[in-house]
């Protein structure tokens, strides 16, 4: 009965004309940034934050959430048609999607990708409705030590699951935490590490940092290369509906992708990217004829595309029910909530039921809109793909500049963004990942206040983190993840043949 | 890559050390059992220094050995020129947007970028700069986003 009343409230809010329009705009922009290589949803959300300032929180979050899950639909289009992923979670779709296009089957690849995305996304929203309330209820029992342990585990998982060196990822998490300590101390009000810059008393703003690390740096990396034109695969993409054989092959992959993607989306450090890779690996492993993968097997498109959308939906659970973003995209969305004076967490459903259920309702509708946008409008996206990067990058830079300026109507945020753009460029050159830095910057204040409250509660004893069952389990899990690569390395050296992470992956 | 690891790890050691020094100055403990404003910064700064050694030591130990093939820092002969122009344009926009106003600064920015980074035809530059500036101004004005007016008033 409660489920029905929640569902009713969700659609009541989401179906308001303005919310409906903003949901459409959000998923449209999301698809657009997904289609365009070089601009991801993280940078887009941060640079569009200023346009939401005059909106109410419900409208703003519906728009921003639409961009976040919409991008995963659009990403597959470029993977299939030009063999370049529009966003990271569609990397794996290139393998079989592009091969299908080369064989003249771009239509079914795009069609199955959109249908799988819809089913995976819808499954994740359903699970969000069912699981978020009990998780939020359980999180109400959390005290400062549990929140510290959870944030610690989240950061550890982000570094553990990073694609590059784990040591470098941990270093970036440390840098993010340190940047989070800049500004007035939360307990004493004392200025820390501000170098006398007034702007920094309030802390380092998340948005210019994200715009710099993900927007400006990406443009700098792209323009320094020679301007090779993108070639869109010339093929017949009129027949979008998959054949009966395609359906028979894909249904299992979609089902497995939904469940796997959702659970990988929920865990801190997880999300759409890992979900898509895990789904591809699973499908290949259980296939009777794995040799077909890499040659244009539709299961290699259906599984990962379903999983990345299910993962994108699942990632909303920790943010909305506990207040802990489990990946960098959710961290930026958390910034969006906070700008509008809403703190996501266990009390969100009680204090802002219209916001919580309205966003959930808009996600159902947004998924349906995306199916419509991605199937009949595929011609439009293909045409957009042909816009040369030499005309796109000035637009990206301009939106970053306007976005940073309008945050506080001053040029200091613009300088900060440019600085982080250069830092992000250098980080890529030196092979450091920006995601742990952003997540740590967001979690830093939570971690610090919880840490200090915990130590005050325990009269300075660190054992408080180990004496409470939930926090102890979380801390031990985090330590296990930190130590396991080293242990595996040592064990692997003693027993040749056991695969271990390489030097760079320690 | 080893040279880059050497440089970057030394940078992060310095960065961590600065935070540790700042943390000590801010006070690590307020009183026994009560952490001060510098407590976590000191711990995290120390961790960063420690982790940096895991990157530094392999970089030093492999210094004399045969260099592994790594991608050039600037992948294209034009890279440095393009990057410098882009940064100049960004900094110029940041410095000029308040005195010049949104419209003039945006027009000049687009004009500059389209002329010098990936040079376009004059017609494309003029139409693209003008249209983009107009549409951006109209969009942000419609969204009631306050834009800098400068001495021209727009």
User: Tens digits of per-residue pLDDT, A343-354?
Assistant: 888 888 888 999
Q: DSSP H helical segments within A409-468, as ranges?
A: 412-429, 435-457, 464-467
- Residue with the larger pLDDT of the pair A317 and A227: A317
Average pLDDT over chain B reads 88
Band the pLDDT of A505: cuts 50, 70, 90: very low
CB contact under 8 A, A181 and B19: yes
**Domain end among B33, B61, B89:** B61
Q: How far is B89 from chain A (nearest CA, A)?
A: 10
The Cα A400–Cα A219 span in angstroms is 11
Q: Is the pLDDT of residue B152 over 60?
A: yes
In a domain, B7, yes or no: yes
Cβ–Cβ under 8 Å, residues A393 and A38: yes
Which pair of structure tokens corresponds to residue A256? Answer: 């497995």
Same domain for B51 and B83, yes or no, is: no
Band the pLDDT of A94: cuts 50, 70, 90: confident
Distances (CA, A) of A483 to A151, A270, A494, A506: 18, 19, 17, 10
User: Tens digits of per-residue pLDDT, A297-322?
Assistant: 999 999 999 999 999 889 999 889 88
Q: Is the pLDDT of residue A403 over 90?
A: no
- In B, minimum Cα distance to A190 occurs at B37
- Residue with the larger pLDDT of the pair A177 and A491: A177
pLDDT for the residue A73:
81
Domain count, chain B: 2
Same domain for B57 and B95, yes or no, is: no
Count of other CB atoms within 10 angstroms of residue B138: 10
Residues sharing a CB contact under 8 Å with residue A230, sequence separation 6 or more, in sequence order: A37, A82, A84, A385, A386, A388, A389
The Cα A82–Cα A384 span in angstroms is 13
Using CB atoms, which residue from A391, A414, A429 is nearest to B94? A414
Same domain for B54 and B8, yes or no, is: yes
In a domain, B10, yes or no: yes
In a domain, B127, yes or no: yes
pLDDT for the residue B105:
94
Share of chain B above pLDDT 90, in %: 59
Q: Across residues A122-130, what is the average pLDDT?
A: 92
Q: Is the pLDDT of residue A404 over 60?
A: yes
Count of other CB atoms within 10 angstroms of residue B101: 18
Same domain for B87 and B130, yes or no, is: yes
Band the pLDDT of A14: cuts 50, 70, 90: very high
In a domain, B149, yes or no: no
Structural domain range at position B36: 2-61
Phi, psi of A357 (to 5 degrees): -70, -30
Cβ–Cβ under 8 Å, residues A37 and A79: no
In a domain, B69, yes or no: no
The Cα A293–Cα A287 span in angstroms is 9
Asked if B108 is an interface residue toward chain A (Cβ–Cβ < 8 A), one would say no
In a domain, B45, yes or no: yes
Q: DSSP character for A297?
A: -
Packing angle of the helix pair A166-180, B39-61 (nearest 10 deg): 150
Q: Cα A153 to the chain's mean position, in Å? A: 17
The Cα A428–Cα A348 span in angstroms is 37
**Domain end among B35, B61, B87:** B61
Count of other CB atoms within 10 angstroms of residue A100: 26
CB contact under 8 A, A409 and B148: yes
Beta-bridge partner residues of A191: A184
- Buried-state track A371-400, b at ≥16 Cβ within 10 A, e below 16: bebbbeebeebbeebeeebbebbbbbbbbb
Count of other CB atoms within 10 angstroms of residue A285: 9
Which pair of structure tokens corresponds to residue A464? Answer: 């408080």
Same domain for B135 and B100, yes or no, is: yes
Same domain for B86 and B128, yes or no, is: yes
Most trustworthy range by pLDDT among A174-178, A442-446, A452-456: A174-178
Same domain for B87 and B138, yes or no, is: yes
| Sign of the alpha-carbon torsion through A382, A383, A389, A392 | negative
CB contact under 8 A, A391 and B120: yes
Using CB atoms, which residue from A227, A432, A447 is nearest to B118? A227
In a domain, B40, yes or no: yes
Q: Is the pLDDT of residue A469 over 70?
A: yes
Nearest to A81 by CA among A57, A61, A102: A102
| 442-481 in chain A: CB under 8 A from chain B | 447-448, 451-452, 455-456, 458-461
pLDDT for the residue B66:
53
Q: DSSP H helical segments within A328-411, as ranges?
A: 328-339, 348-351, 353-374, 378-385, 389-408
In a domain, B42, yes or no: yes
Same domain for B57 and B89, yes or no, is: no
Phi, psi of B35 (to 5 degrees): -65, 145
User: Tens digits of per-residue pLDDT, B103-142?
Assistant: 999 999 999 999 999 888 999 999 999 999 999 999 888 8
Cβ–Cβ under 8 Å, residues A325 and A50: no
Which pair of structure tokens corresponds to residue A486? Answer: 């080293």
Same domain for B53 and B85, yes or no, is: no
């Amino acid at each position: 009965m409660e489920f029905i009343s929640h569902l009713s409230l969700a659609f009541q809010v989401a179906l308001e004309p303005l919310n409906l329009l903003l949901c459409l705009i959000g998923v449209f922009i999301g698809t657009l940034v997904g289609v365009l290589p070089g601009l991801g949803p993280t940078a887009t959300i941060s640079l569009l934050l200023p346009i939401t300032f005059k909106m109410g929180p419900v409208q703003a979050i519906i728009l921003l959430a639409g961009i976040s899950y919409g991008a995963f639909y659009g990403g597959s289009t470029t993977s299939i048609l030009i063999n370049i992923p529009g966003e990271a979670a569609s990397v794996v779709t290139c393998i079989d999607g592009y091969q299908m296009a080369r064989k003249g089957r771009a239509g079914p690849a795009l069609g199955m990708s959109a249908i799988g995305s819809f089913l995976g996304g819808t499954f994740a929203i359903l699970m969000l409705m069912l699981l978020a309330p009990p998780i939020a209820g359980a999180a109400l029992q959390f005290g400062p030590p549990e929140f510290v342990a959870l944030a610690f585990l989240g950061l550890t998982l982000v570094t553990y699951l990073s694609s590059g060196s784990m040591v470098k990822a941990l270093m970036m998490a440390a840098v993010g935490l340190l940047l989070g300590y800049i500004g007035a101390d939360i307990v004493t009000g004392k200025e820390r590490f501000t170098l006398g810059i007034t702007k920094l008393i309030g802390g380092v703003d998340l948005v210019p940092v994200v715009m710099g690390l993900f927007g400006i740096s990406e443009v700098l990396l792209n323009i320094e290369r020679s301007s090779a034109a993108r070639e869109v695969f010339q093929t017949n993409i009129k027949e979008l509906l998959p054949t009966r054989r395609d359906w028979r092959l894909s249904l299992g992959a979609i089902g497995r992708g939904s469940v796997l993607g959702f659970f990988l989306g929920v865990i801190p450090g997880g999300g759409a990217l890992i979900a898509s890779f895990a789904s591809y690996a699973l499908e290949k492993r259980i296939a009777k004829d794995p040799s077909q993968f890499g040659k244009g097997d539709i299961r290699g498109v259906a599984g990962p595309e379903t999983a990345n959308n299910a993962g994108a939906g699942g990632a909303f659970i920790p943010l909305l029910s506990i207040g802990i973003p489990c990946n960098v995209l959710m961290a930026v969305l958390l910034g969006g909530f906070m700008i509008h004076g809403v703190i996501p967490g266990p009390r969100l459903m009680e204090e802002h039921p219209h916001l919580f259920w309205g966003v959930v309702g808009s996600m159902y509708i947004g998924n349906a809109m995306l199916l419509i946008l991605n199937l009949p409008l595929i011609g439009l996206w293909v045409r957009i793909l042909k816009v040369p990067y030499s005309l796109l990058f000035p637009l990206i830079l301009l939106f970053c500049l306007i976005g940073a300026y309008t945050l506080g109507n001053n040029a200091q945020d613009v300088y900060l963004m440019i600085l982080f753009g250069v830092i992000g460029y250098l980080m890529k050159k030196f092979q450091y990942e920006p995601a742990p830095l952003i997540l740590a910057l967001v979690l830093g204040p939570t971690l610090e206040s919880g840490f200090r409250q915990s130590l005050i509660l325990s009269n300075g004893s660190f054992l408080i983190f180990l004496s409470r069952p939930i926090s102890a389990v979380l801390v031990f899990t985090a330590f296990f993840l930190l130590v396991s690569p080293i242990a595996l390395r040592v064990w692997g050296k003693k027993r040749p043949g056991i695969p271990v992470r390489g030097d760079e992956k320690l | 890559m080893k040279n880059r690891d050497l440089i970057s790890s030394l940078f992060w050691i310095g960065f961590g050390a600065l935070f540790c020094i700042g943390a000590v100055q801010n006070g690590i403990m307020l009183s026994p059992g009560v952490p001060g404003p510098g407590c976590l910064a000191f711990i995290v700064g120390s961790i960063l220094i420690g982790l940096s050694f895991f990157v530094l030591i392999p970089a030093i130990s492999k210094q004399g050995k045969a260099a592994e093939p790594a991608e050039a820092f600037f992948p294209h002969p034009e890279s440095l020129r393009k990057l410098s122009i882009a940064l100049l344009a960004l900094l110029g926009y940041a410095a000029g947007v308040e005195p010049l106003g949104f419209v003039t600064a945006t027009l000049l920015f687009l004009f500059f970028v389209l002329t010098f980074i990936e040079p376009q035809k004059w017609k494309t530059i003029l139409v693209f700069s003008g249209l983009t500036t107009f549409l951006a101004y109209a969009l942000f004005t419609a969204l009631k986003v306050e834009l800098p007016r400068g001495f021209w008033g727009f």
